[in-house]
Chains A and B, each alone.
Chain A
């Protein structure tokens, strides 16, 4: 059930299959991200892969002494490019792997182009998704919806991505979907169709309890992506933007050249692996420890190196030392930048109000706080808009709603019209009318008492009161209590036992907060393994534009600010 490992094993197998010798990895845009997320350069270099090329790149020289490993999505353009490549091969031998099902006719076209007999392997390796963590994958798809239904070009890609996850994990699941969302149903049907069509592929060893695929829609919980996050990974994504586990630090003032772009991968960064789910305060302590450790190990000047045993120790420790120094400077920079942003944008205050909006039911208090914060000149545009959005979603139907005056306030603050319009579109996207399950006010007795107990216990951490809706959904699912009326099975069969292997897919994108939730569920629930996926991984900025796929350029502009 480890998606990172699944992709990694595919790539290793490809390299292994090609035997010894210098190799080039030929990829397309998407497979480049797929591979780069699970493998670091030095790791893959050790396997004699020295060049990484795009199949559509014109600037490639003929190098007959290289073997080419092609890892491509089975798209029309890729097949066409590959045909051209095979007609005039630039490398000695080609090992071709498609990341998904490819048609027989395309195989034929490729075979006919291979006049020089350079192809040694043609296979399907189902690594058609970006594996961010062992339990988290993304398809890197933006703008998936058009109104309340799928953007026609995206649905096939989402289906491919999701089926490839199933194939990579060797799961032939039963499917449940969210009834209130047409998109969920459509996707569920498409996946089912593929499973039926490619039944030979999905013929895996039967497990006692069949695995389960649960398809959900983001619009059911529009609040989670709007909240500020305080765990390391989520925070980095929210404030700096994680893209395929990479962050762009070029905008950080006074950044050194080799830290412009850094990779945060739990696979080979021990500190990150240990801290990615810890909150900001804990990271502060840990980074201090890391520094102290580093200073202890760091040879202090020349005088300390004088004794031979010192030097010996230094040399013996050198590789670790070097690795560690890289880790230290990276995390110090990242954490430093995070804390700079936090204080600059008053994120502690903002977050407190956000959490209050999301978790408590006190309108007068909430509206006062929102108003007060909007007055604060240091409040960033994004934060202002998201507070208003949260308010709008939360008190959508409240009789004393002050939304209009808040919108005026935004205008006075100089927030652009585009942003102000987004508040309304967000309500359209995730408002009450759309929601299938009750996001905000629990209605049944159990939930109310739960809420009550929560109140009694007191809040441990004001910045982490919010639990995403996904937690509740999965909890119910694991306990076998998730209502069939809201999340029906596709097809006549229903799961009798409690599910064990669960794949959750969030149409419209998941968040790192949800990833954390799933992570914790995995750790606390015996015998349950959950993998979370989404069309993308959101932070607030990305989420703003969920409805406006045509404005992907806008997103780019926003990023550059």
Chain B
């Protein structure tokens, strides 16, 4: 039931009284409507703009948000209104739908935002009224095409495991993906051009020599041209065979237009090779040479414009067909008329109707060579009619073809533009993303440093380090830390990760102490984390947690934080705010476990003791901050920033 018909439902029920006297069976009981509310006004507050409507208006469509009990979720008790945090402009259309039963699409709205609102309020877009439906569909199709184009470009992304065939095919189809492909692309283009030019020059008369008459270059330098031809054909053959090999579906490839062009381009040569100078077939052989000109079509792989043109012609097939048909009709008509008009005159060139075809075509296309002209008056009259109509007949289908071409061309331009913009867009997005990731890492460091600084009592740096983070940010960071804790891994950024991997492959591990081996062995992959390291870490006044062998997993996070604090240079304390590059290096296989020892530039006696006890290799950092809180050798002290 749609439209305001719901308002007329009581009438329909009442009208059923007409059936009662005629009824053959007793009627069923009517359903009880116990909730007999009086119709009341409902207040809808959409982002501050207030809309009011009757409850029954909304009840007309019970399978939408506003018509069902779903809106109770948005009820605000204090203000006694339904509050929706959505776009009020689009809401206008939606509310009008309830009122009038027709959903209109406001043309100035973005199609995707409109769709979102419709989905939110549970209205299917199919019920958009006829007045706006076409526009809606057009816009929707456009946006879908755009999305599709974007997705297609994502396919350009490198697939991890491609065998030779797939790599080759990708190189052939998308030459911009690799340098090799680009080289191949240009080489083939060059040879196509060379081949075409030689074909052309072959026929140019080369200049007469005293003992020979003027002959075309092709016959003068037969050998040279033959070598050139052979070279080109060999390249083309090799290219064709490579493509055939790399094609994912060979059968489909062989049927495609481009491959047919390739074959037609190289076949004449081979046929010429195979056939000897047999007089009978040499005529046919000469004809075959004509096909060499098809090599120029191979350029369509290199030129997008050519492809667009071809595609346009294909898509305008019906218009072209119509053009051809109407032209043929007109030609036949006018040729007949001209023939009979000129029949009377003597020595006329219009010897037959087919002979008149030539005149008609030349006249209709306004060429007017002048080799055939009508001489009789009737002939001249009909000739002029013929030329006038020719202009019309040709001019009619052409705009359709042109508009098709323009549309396809612009679509292509748009795709190219988008591809170019995409790079910058992606970089910007990546920067933003890494910004947030870095923020997290930064905050971790800051948090740790804050704690450290607290215990050392140096407040000056603290001021610098305290960053005002919003509540949302801090909650987000907390969430990320929970994730880290769960998986016992940590977030690092790209550079560090790569560096780690690089280092792990380069470095040997001479300083692995025995204690290390006694601890849990490397149980993780390159990206995992070494477990079981312990570190004597200076700890704040807070609790000292004794660490079990499994505990180190947790510790490691602390560990990493620590190491990020390390300044690898003998520099001042101010270097504590390290860049991300100097941070975590543990993530690689067999990566060295670095202790984060933050010790004050005081005699590191305490540290030594710790080291000795839990002997993983350390990376000394001087100066480092060491707490003065002592820790017994047995207890593991860690500074947990998490």
Answer yes or no: are A and B bound together in one complex.
no
